[in-house]
Amino acid sequence: MNASFKKQLSQLYNEVNQEIYSTGVSKQKIDVVENRIVIFAQTKRSPLISALGRRYPELTLSVDGALATEYKHSLKERIEEQFGLTVTAIFKDYDAVSQHACTVIYVKESLDTSHK
């Protein structure tokens, strides 16, 4: 896998994170195998969500879900536009306690040969 592809993807992932959650990523590790991209990241929880969570924990769950959906939609569009890939699915989860996130991106193309 081309190091430039991973660097560009890392920057894109951080940009989308800043746009949706108003906070950047402090650490990232990107693994690419065939048509799968797995991104492990550490990031702080959005201050707005943290503020809501103190008094409205049930609302926080709804907001988390809505933001995750927006995040995946934006990330999909930007990956397809920037890299010319066809994203078939994105899965994302975030653990607020450890502040770790995992994002799995499936693309139609094989990345082992298309970005060397």
pLDDT at 46: 76
Kind and range of the H or E element at 6? helix 3-21
Q: Rounded distance, CA 112 to CA 116, Å? A: 7
Kind and range of the H or E element at 55? helix 47-55
Cross-strand bridge partners of residue 4: none
Kind and range of the H or E element at 69? helix 57-83
Q: Rounded distance, CA 71 to CA 75, Å? A: 6
User: What is the full per-residue pLDDT of the chain (116 aa) written as tens digits?
Assistant: 578 999 999 999 999 999 998 888 989 999 999 999 999 999 887 777 878 888 888 888 888 889 999 999 999 999 999 999 999 999 999 888 898 999 999 999 998 754 44
Q: How far is CA 42 from CA 18, 89, 109, in A?
A: 13, 22, 27
pLDDT at 1: 53
> φ and ψ at 24, to 5 degrees?
-90, 175
